[in-house]
A and B are shown apart, each in its own frame.
Chain A
Amino acid sequence: MAIDGLIILDSTGRPIIQSGYTSYPPGYPILHVDALNTELSKCARAKDVDPVIYVGPGIGDLRGSACCHVEVGGMRILASVSRDADPLVAFAFLQAFVDVLVDYFGTVNAATLKDNFDTVYQLLEETLDSSGHPLTTSPNALRDIVLPPSLITKLIASIAPSGPSPASGRTGAGSLAGAGAGAAFASPIPWRKAGVRHNHNEILFDVVEDMCATIGRNGATLSSLVWGKIECNAKLSGTPDLTMTFTNPTVMTNCAFHPCVRLQRWSRDKVFSFVPPDGQFVIAEYQYGPPHGALSGNVPVPIAFKANVTTDENEGSFTLTISSKLSTKPMENVIIEHYLGEDSTGAQCSTSSSGTGLGTVGGAEGSWMYDHHKHVLRWEIPNLTTSGSWSLRGSWTSKSKTPRPDRTYSIKFDIPSYTFSALKVDQLRLSSEAYKMYKGVRGRSKGSIEWRW
């Protein structure tokens, strides 16, 4: 299960930051970087490169190894693995590491990492042991050992040479970190540090559901799955023992839980009984199992879409119509994309809407654009209300005699304050602590649908 090391490459394939690789020959990381860059250059589309690349043995190293890589914010992060390594551990670790970086820096890109390289190095040291075993990856515990860069520390650093006085403040921060760490790792509950204190006790839940559907040419739903995730942000003092009950827990199937959830209670009573970590975490992931009787287990798709496409010599034309099937909530950020083929050269469209109650002001009709680089036509509707319909009429030109646009429209949308499963929290009880806490549950949904024409 060993991860030999981790290398972060910038968009040109040059390493920016890499872990120690202390027990490997100096050429080892270079071989991995080279193997990845070779594969990337061979492949027309970067996303089609196999995620695990075999790296042949180098000089002084008789064993081959493999390189697992992911793309993040224009960079590539690669993890070298060898022996009977588990690539999934590598990918899970890379994901966890990226999550940590996001937690620390907000955005992850080459510039941020270069600015904060000292923090990144410390994070690398703390998350990955030089023998290849992942250590602590919970941002919660890490924040105590590695100080996140903040405006104040930056400010202090910039005025530091002016005198010794701010230095004492920094020392204070340093020793504080030490004390916190002792607490974090001595806690009897591995995911929660002991002795947490908050002035204002609150716990917030976000139920996020993601629909992933494919609609056939005849408008029939071929597959439509809804994956749900309950995100939690807990700021509770002490050791809060929580019990969360649902009015309709059966909508959650194929559940996966954060280790804090007591599995026995779930399988027996269908309640979440847990002592949460401090801060943000994902408490559970599930698949929405629609009630029996729904067509072969498919969740109904909340939009109606019609596409009329005709292709002719060197050109094609289309009429698209979309409307919402929801009666209560409006949809936001509806994006419809269509790949018009490698040979397409340009498009010309007009948008219109009827019965939407929004009029035509402020771009309510939506806007379109053609991406010459990706050959993709993109139609955006900022707000898709429950009534009315939107349409896009237009044509495109192509270098090819027989244009071959893609056979699917990709439709993405967000629905705030709505969940497909209508999962409802009945109550949340706190035992073992005496204070009152503020509770909140929100729902939101998003969807990505492939609509064939």
Chain B
Amino acid sequence: MSIRAPRKGENYELSVDLNSEYREKRKDAIKRVIASMTVGKDVSGLFPDVLKNMQTDDLEQKKLVYLYLMNYAKTQPELVILAVNTFVKDSEDPNPLVRALAIRTMGCLRAEKIIDYLCDPLRRALSDDNPYVRKTAALCVAKLYDLKPELAIENGFLEQLHEMIGDSNPMVVANTVAALTDINAAATAHQIPPDDPAHFDITSAVLTKLLIALNECSEWGRVAILNALARYTAQDDKESEHICERVVPQFQHVNGAVVLAAMKVVMIHMRAVHREDLVKQLVRKMAPPLVTLLSSPPEVQWVALKNINLLLQKRADLLTSEMRVFFCKYNDPLYVKVEKLDIMVRLANDNNVDALLSELKEYASEVDVDFVRKSIKAIGQTAIQIESAAERCVNVLLELIDTRVSYVVQEAVVVMKDIFRKYPSTYEGVIPTLCANLDELDEPEAKASLIWIIGEYAEKIENADELLGVFVDTFTEESYQVQLQTLTAVVKLFLKKPDSSQGIVQRVLTTATKDCDSPDVRDRAYIYWRLLSTDPGAAKAVVLAHRPPISVPQTTVSPALLEELLGDLSSLASVYHKPAETFIGHGRVGADSLQRKATEVDDRAAAQRALQTVAAGQQAENLLDFDDEPAQAANGDSSLLSSSSSSGLAATQILPHTPAAANLLAGTSANPLDDLVSIFGGMNAGAGFGSGSGSGGGGAGRGSASADGIMGGLGSPGVLSPTHTGVTSPSAGTMSPTGTGAGPGAQKPQDDLLGLF
């Protein structure tokens, strides 16, 4: 018994009232006790007084006392034991509501001592006449299993649950399914052997019962049953077809959670359906409910949009004629707008591209800076995706540049650079307009983009040396990103117009090697210098090499991951576009399984691996984006993540074998390749977590340079042979102007490294 409160104060008054002779006064006191409890006051001292009020005909009062018990059960289990008798008595009450309440509360108390008394009432409740009591009892078994699995097994509750799947009341079936699913999850987590009754294997007999109950129960019950159906492995095509046909009517449920759960089941079982006409029919039936979800509150819309995005990656034909449903509203929250934009670009085709472009142009003139930038990016993606519309996109961009709004111009310049990469030498006419806005640019990414364009088309821009000269003058004040681009652009200019630009190239190389504190910039300057002085022909071959064209990938995740995510449709995994283990599992498990998934893909088609990793680096979001925002990069492709981390490991293992590396490890070397280890660390961070523009883009350059060093067994740039550089990084690191390059750039040397070991 706890210590009595002093004979004054609030608790004392409550205690007096709890013992009042009047029912209403006692009930009022209980309410006040609960009120104090919720604001965090300690009313545990009143436990015996409250407990006295537990035996009552007034259901409301009983519930309030139960509420109090649940709150203090954890901290004062020895007191709760006093309540056991009342619980057991209540579980035999003629009122089914009281019986259910007693069972439910006993399950919630989570006190070891009370659990032992739970078994008999629970057994009675499981076979109660009243379905409300049965369905409450079903969930209670799951709670018991969670607390004391052996008790649930000894009493045969699990077998009883399995029988209850055949219950006549659909709500009991639904709750039983929910309970069995919970128990199954717990058993799987504890690696219980597969023949244990804790496992919930859905047989075809169970399937029939579930399909019957599905149409009869509440929305929450339907979600539980649908989730169970998603786990079922169909015996043959026929059964898969049958499941799909029986589940499709759920698409018309008002509750969006039911709709998406049904869609998940259909997506899973459709894999086994080979009848083309049926597949077509199923896909056609998916579109209307998805569109309907867009009339829901923004939060629901957002989840729906995330899932639609996934579905579209698998079934591009799903919503082709529904573009206008996705038009952004001024009042939409930013997170909805961003998702809508992404889907609009996905749905773009020759027929609707005009409507899309005029919408995007409209968005680009809105006031929200983030949204404006994303809209402009979307214009670029459209241009790259639909060749026939590229010219119209460029015209829209030019109109936007005309507005002279600083962030609009800057973003448009960045996007133009991507269009130049996709369609080289097609839109040179716009270069003067771009150059005219040189002074407006103050963001590194925009500057770097324009510099890249100038360098690339140096032979066609008369005053290219003047324009670049501006950046050479302020070289040391610029960000690394801009420095690297300036360096490359000036070298390109020199190779294209050797006569007029001798001076500027000298100037930039001197500044970069002498006054610059970034090892990346110095490295690159040294390499260029040597290339130019040793063999201008080779320099031309390297610096002016043909770059592979860029493209917008149709998927943001690898095919294997996409399949898995579609199986998890409507879950957190599908919202984050990441497998569930990575964010709800233990850290290490997550990383392992990511790697596993990556290797699965690799094994399947080794030849496609290279392509895939390139595609991974060119994910839609990253494509036009220097700033690999952490979220995006983390959202990114799994293979990218895992292979970069593995190569990081591999690299550190091999380092001590080369003398130069040993030097570096000891920290004695003063050459620009300082900190090879940290470079790899940086690469890890750059590729894996995208720690900002600097290390994202820089990671690429570092990666290639250091890979050269290791591959040649050389630790110092002084001996780096020009041809070698040319071979290993023709397109990526050193020359690629874009964050896009970061993907393949970081990837290639790593692949090489992996190949070595």
Interface residues on A, range: 35 or more
B249 within 8 A of A: yes
Q: Provide the residues of chain B in CB contact with A182, threshold 8 Å.
A: 95-97, 130, 132
Nearest-neighbor residue (CB-CB) of B221 within chain A: A190
B575 within 8 A of A: yes
B168-188 Cβ-contact flags toward A at 8 Å (1 or 0): 001100010011001001000
Separation in Å of the B275 CB from the closest CB of chain A?
20
Question: Would B63 and A122 count as touching, CB distance under 8 A?
Answer: yes
Q: Provide the residues of chain A in CB contact with B261, threshold 8 Å.
A: 86
Separation in Å of the A286 CB from the closest CB of chain B?
8
Q: Provide the residues of chain A in CB contact with B335, threshold 8 Å.
A: 48-51
Bound-state CA distance A223–B325 (Å) is: 7
Question: Would A95 and B297 count as touching, CB distance under 8 A?
Answer: yes
Question: Would A147 and B60 count as touching, CB distance under 8 A?
Answer: yes
Q: Provide the residues of chain A in CB contact with B142, threshold 8 Å.
A: 131
A258 within 8 A of B: yes
Q: Provide the residues of chain A in CB contact with B108, threshold 8 Å.
A: 20, 22, 130
CB < 8 Å neighbour of A178 from B59, B217, B333: B59
Contacts A52-B575, A87-B575, A406-B330 hold; do A92 and B252 have CB atoms under 8 A apart? no
Q: Provide the residues of chain A in CB contact with B291, threshold 8 Å.
A: 254, 287
Question: Would A164 and B289 count as touching, CB distance under 8 A?
Answer: no
Q: Per DSSP, are chain B's interface residues mostly helix, strand or loop, or mixed?
A: helix
Question: Would A285 and B292 count as touching, CB distance under 8 A?
Answer: yes
Bound-state CA distance A308–B613 (Å) is: 52
Q: A residues 436-453 with Cβ under 8 Å of B?
A: 450, 452
Question: Would B303 and A118 count as touching, CB distance under 8 A?
Answer: no
Q: Provide the residues of chain B in CB contact with A68, threshold 8 Å.
A: 299
Question: Would A84 and B584 count as touching, CB distance under 8 A?
Answer: yes
CB < 8 Å neighbour of B223 from A86, A122, A166, A256: A86
A175-201 Cβ-contact flags toward B at 8 Å (1 or 0): 101110110111000110000000000
A259 within 8 A of B: yes
Interface residues on B, range: 35 or more
Nearest-neighbor residue (CB-CB) of B129 within chain A: A186
Separation in Å of the B175 CB from the closest CB of chain A?
7
A244 within 8 A of B: no
Contacts A84-B568, A174-B58, A214-B327 hold; do A164 and B22 have CB atoms under 8 A apart? yes
Question: Would A341 and B367 count as touching, CB distance under 8 A?
Answer: yes
A253 within 8 A of B: yes
B552-588 Cβ-contact flags toward A at 8 Å (1 or 0): 0000000000000000101111011000100111100
Query: Can you pick out 15 interface pairs between chain A and chain B where the beta carbons lie within 8 Å of each other?
Result: A22-B70, A50-B302, A54-B583, A68-B299, A88-B304, A88-B570, A125-B67, A166-B24, A185-B130, A190-B171, A214-B329, A257-B253, A287-B295, A408-B330, A450-B329
A-B contacts besides A50-B335, A182-B96, 9 pairs, CB < 8 Å: A82-B584, A84-B572, A156-B24, A161-B28, A174-B59, A223-B327, A225-B324, A407-B365, A450-B329
- Give A contacts to B, CB under 8 Å: 1-2, 16-17, 20, 22-23, 45, 47-52, 54, 62-66, 68-70, 81-89, 91-93, 95, 117-118, 121-122, 125, 129-131, 133-138, 145-147, 156-157, 160-161, 163-164, 166-167, 170-171, 174-175, 177-179, 181-182, 184-186, 190-191, 210, 212, 214, 216, 222-223, 225, 227, 253-259, 263, 282, 284-285, 287, 296, 298, 339, 341-342, 404, 406-408, 410, 450, 452
- Give B contacts to A, CB under 8 Å: 21-25, 27-28, 31, 34-35, 38, 57-61, 63-64, 67, 70-71, 73-74, 95-98, 104, 107-110, 130-132, 139, 142-143, 146, 170-171, 175, 178-179, 182, 185, 215-220, 223-224, 227, 249, 252-257, 259-261, 288-289, 291-292, 295, 297-300, 302-304, 324-325, 327, 329-331, 333-335, 355, 358-359, 362, 365-367, 568, 570-573, 575-576, 580, 583-586
- Which 7 interchain pairs have the tightest Cβ spacing? A160-B24, A185-B132, A223-B324, A254-B288, A51-B299, A174-B58, A134-B220
